[in-house]
Chains A and B, each alone.
Chain A
């Protein structure tokens, strides 16, 4: 994307005013999206986004500038702007050299079928199949929408600490949602499938099955009753509940929140912060997962990082800036949405390892409560630990048995409290669907996973007494 000698000159310019660190991040992204709605192809769309962001750190200040023009003149202008933004310095000369190195290519993820080799007609055919399958479930299905989005992104990252890395990232995402209409009004169901892989993901999973599942959820909820309100035991099905940990503690373990004392987990390394059943891992290397990358967006290899082991807080997650200030290694968690964005500490794939309990026993030993078969999104206030997450498909548990379906609602809890209230953890495990994590206006793809588990007491936000 950019020649090595140009990178050297850009980094040299960026450092010219006494900066301690300079970085160039360049990306070239092609994407295709096809949306299907209301029985027809809604839109077929192509995108091409290409540009570079230059980061300069001087003292406590980070300067950032970006450009969509990859000519040397424009890159040098961006480097100058970033250096200016970081503040004036003594102007010492620091010539940056890549020493004729080839960029590090990291672990190449094998993509069997690149989306670049798939016809748009094939995309349309998949969406038609999904539409037909969802509508065949029941005459009460009144609306179906589906979409496929895929992207192939090449990135090049170089910095004055010696990082020189290149990567190609392919992602494919399919989603389907259905609306059912009945005497009680309308209800919705949805499914999604997303991997950091190519078109081969559709060999293993049938879009028609996903579409039928989405339609089944919507139809089932037509007979759902209002969710209860108040505190009660909540059992969460494997795979779907990783978002609980993402919100209940994941964000609070990001070193930027910790450094500012804006996390309930600040200063608690070595302490018991969760039930001893809980071992929490953030791992950007899991093959093909939605949050997986060879490198993070600062050019550092992703890793498997144990954050909580047997309930004890082991470590936080780190990007370049926070690790540098603490004089410790990075953890491969410096991520950004695109070249227009500053990197921050972010999660990759965050999951809890399997525990000792039989999943069926978890339900049968729960006298009364709620079983959540499918969670939606959530959000957290890292400073207070209070977080919410949505129940998209849930049931009452009565006398140790799953009974009536419930309407949607949020669950609310406090991170440290909920983590210590996990009193059963299944020996099953699954990763959940693809997620987008939002922080400071930037969205990045993340994965989550967990075994079936029980929280002894959570507040269910329904309307029933």
Chain B
């Protein structure tokens, strides 16, 4: 098959089974760059200059459902308040572009949006800090439409360890397991991206509904803590969950992992924080980049992850989570939300069938939300809202 033919076929496939993307940080980008002024950054037009995401490119990319992340940094002074503002931003987006974005809370809503050619819009919270150790707040987020919560972001929460922080709890605490159970009761997906492998295993033990990884790739292909180890991927068939491959170069390409570590070390050697973006810091960073060019990930890098994840977890447990507008760099060919057809073309090239691709892009992710709803319906019949507090289950460590 020629490259052009593969791309045409990919686009045709996406028209039938569009992409459900597990993670997009557009709301945070709108907050940071425009103070939530949706006129200032109007995604109905071309925002290539400023954003990875806009409505024309979502259409070009064959996106049929998007989990909009209502992420706020853990360092935010009032993370719960800021999370509510993020939710408000998503709702205003939905109000503003009703012809292109369809509010979605269930698997059935996703299918309805696919039928009328709109992007089913769901919300995911990124990090347990958004509930401030409160199951009441967790239920509040569910009531507001949040359908997954990543248990941690880059740092630990009181009840769960992050992949990118020092081990503290050693996985999930008793309250952490209660959070997972309450999420199952509500029908909110437990997202294990960003969490430590110990937390992944504990959550799989505690969960009675399928889990997701909203944006994580395979650790066996690229050894980075943000990726999923094989022993966890192996548990997905029994759990029914999905791992949604992410594109972030510094997680998926081994050379980029090492380059990023060296770049961070260089910043620290100059007495700067590695995420510093002041003009002075950027100058030092540019000098480093001139000396040692940034390794470039490609579509093929991401396809390697999917090939491996498919081998370990199986075709029914894969999905896609691009992390657009949440990452500074993207792979060649997957530069923004219009790039998904390139990934599908690459997979077609590698011999993936149409049926396989339909599962990867659409069916698995929709199935998982539907399964979470079914589990919730059963659990709610027998279990009342949990009144547990972190103090009651973990002592006063919170």
Q: Do A and B originate from a single complex?
A: no
A interface residue numbers (CB < 8 A to B): none
